Amino acid sequence: MGVYHQLKSLGRALTVTGALVLSTAFLAGGAMAQTMGGDFIVVQGSNPPSLDAMSTSSQASRNINMNIYEPLYGFSEAVTPIPILAETCEISDDGLTYRFPLRKGVKFHNGKEMTAKDVKASLERYRKVGATGNLLDPVESIEITGDYEVTFTMKKATPTFLEAFSSPRAPAVIIPEEDAETEAGKNSFVGTGPYKYVEYVPDSHVKLERFADYSADTRSTGIDGFGGNKTAYFDTVTFRIITEPGAQVAALEAGEVHLLEQIPVPAARRLEGNADIVTYENMPWAFNTFIFNMNVPPSDNPKFREAVQVALNMEEIMGITTEGLFQLDHGWQYAGTTYDAGDIGKEYYNQADADRAKALLKEAGYNGEEFSILTDGNIPGHSKSAIVIAEQLNAIGINAVVNQVDWPTALKIRLQPEGWNGWTLQMGIEPYLGPVGLIATLTGEKPHFIKNDPELDQLYEELISGSTVEARKATFAKIQTRMYEFFGVIKLGNIGLMQASRSNVKGFKPFRFPRVYNVWFED
């Protein structure tokens, strides 16, 4: 070998070594940036009604529970089903069998390894106490087909099943077999997530602790929606319950807490120039809607409902409701998502057309009957929307009155077939779940608007039996068309959610719940 070749080899070796050293240095640098330790204090405004993830679909519970528990399947960041505790899901050609091989070596917080027995027991409990246990209705039986495998046998092919099964609404999480017989809310709060439950002092806090034996899902490099590769950096996480928004903001400014799950928009704008605080805009977060009771006059008349639709000035309603954090959007799925139906119905949205509305009222034969708008004071956006809607409807001659009660009373009244005409509701999780989750609330035995629209019911059946995404997209376009034909519910716009953290909190990405894993304190 000549000197030239020797030098060339040395150069190549040095290059490779240098590259290795550099890459190691960068990797080490990256790892060093993510420091372990500390107590991360998250603030939310209300108590979790339950820490039994299966039995509640409340956001206040989901915020905490999704850091403790994990399901077999969940949604990715792009809202598609991804395996979390399952390895995968193999669906038979006829759609009647779903085989779920499980990840091995996954530990529960009590130290026990998760096996097929735990999965079957959890899902059987879910059928009984799950707030959305009916999503297992299409499943005939769940069989243990291996130590680390369960198989579902379906009653009939349900193409949208995996999507529904992945729903985080009241998630079908996996808990130890020993908890299978417990009543709703009485389990031991043991899950498989990166943080484990320590204590709950109602009206004060929920404390979680890093689960040292957490079995990270190494199939991905980082977090992805409800799944992905999770790492718990904090020693403990405290979810503090502070009801007063002013006190929440003060605590963040004083540095006593690290993350506000929700911050009033004006306060967030004020803090934008504060170097110690970072604000996050979670947009879109929810639909703002106005639902009609199609069972009683005058809202039983489609022409009357159309008049309301064209009369409303959505920009004004949304601006006042959200204090400026909104999107004008007529669509019944978020723009840019898989099922976005484009411009269908846009010609009816945000018209503020008093003349057309008055003509429609005349056509409807409206004679000044009372139009009672039901709303509640617990969720300020509900009552603000109701008041602006009432004012706008009064301006075109509708005798609109606002009936403001508290939240449990509003829910009680709106289930009654009479006694209300319109109801303001922010839909948070349904639009996120996709068209099936959303339309399910408007069809079936007890639709939001009391009286079914047979055509919508039929389209819902078509939607859930659509075998391909393309087929379902086509059906959803028909659904959006129908929504702007019978006007059972009015889409007012999209609402955003503002969050804020101290600036030394790193890695936090806004999502459907505050993910307290893959987040750390900067040194």
Partner 1 sequence: MIRFVAGRLLSAIPILFVVSLVTFLIIWIVPGDVTAEIAGGDATPAELEAIRQNLGLDRPLLERALAWYGQLLQGDLGHSYLLNRSVSDAVFERLPITLSLAGLSLVIATVIGILLGILAAVRQNTWLDQGAMVTALIGLSVPDFWFGIVMIILFGVFLGWLPTGGYVPITEDFFGWVRSMTLPALTLAFTQMGVIARMTRSSMLDVLNQDFVRTAKAKGMRARTVIFKHALINAMVPIITVVGVITGVLLSGAVVIESVFSLPGVGRLIIGSIQRRDFPIIQGGLLVTAAIFVFVNIIVDVLYVWFDPRVRDDR
Binding positions for partner 1, rule: CB under 8 A: 47, 49-51, 55-59, 61, 129, 131-134, 170, 183-186, 200-204, 240-244, 246-247, 250-251, 253-254, 256, 378-379, 405-413, 415, 425-430, 440-441, 444-446, 448
CA distance 262 to 114: 35
In sequence order, what are the residues at sequence separation of 6 or more whose Cβ sits closer than 8 angstroms to the Cβ of residue 74?
81, 82, 84, 166, 168, 171, 225, 226, 227
Nearest to partner 1 of 286, 519 (CB atom): 286
Nearest to partner 1 of 84, 427 (CB atom): 427
CB 100 within 8 A of CB 148: no
Tell me the closest approach of the beta carbon of residue 430 to partner 1, in angstroms.
6
Cα-to-chain-centroid distance, residue 235: 27
Question: Three-class SS of residue 440?
Answer: helix
Nearest to partner 1 of 72, 241 (CB atom): 241
Tell me the closest approach of the beta carbon of residue 244 to partner 1, in angstroms.
5
CA distances, 466 to each of 459, 461, 469, 474 (Å): 10, 9, 7, 9
Q: Which residue, 513, 523, 516, is CA-closest to 40?
A: 516
Nearest to partner 1 of 201, 335 (CB atom): 201
Tell me the closest approach of the beta carbon of residue 323 to partner 1, in angstroms.
19
Q: Using CA of residue 263, residue 267, residue 271, residue 276, what is the dihedral sign?
A: negative
Tell me the closest approach of the beta carbon of residue 351 to partner 1, in angstroms.
26
Tell me the closest approach of the beta carbon of residue 365 to partner 1, in angstroms.
31
In sequence order, what are the residues at sequence separation of 6 or more whose Cβ sits closer than 8 angstroms to the Cβ of residue 274?
253
Nearest to partner 1 of 135, 344 (CB atom): 135
Tell me the closest approach of the beta carbon of residue 131 to partner 1, in angstroms.
5
Nearest to partner 1 of 19, 201 (CB atom): 201
CB 330 within 8 A of CB 350: yes
Tell me the closest approach of the beta carbon of residue 138 to partner 1, in angstroms.
15
Strand pairing class (149-154; 399-405): unpaired
Q: Which residue, 243, 265, 192, 236, is CA-closest to 499?
A: 265
Nearest to partner 1 of 103, 125 (CB atom): 125
CA distances, 368 to each of 56, 362, 371, 397, 421 (Å): 42, 11, 8, 7, 14
Tell me the closest approach of the beta carbon of residue 448 to partner 1, in angstroms.
8
Nearest to partner 1 of 83, 138 (CB atom): 138
CA distance 307 to 175: 51
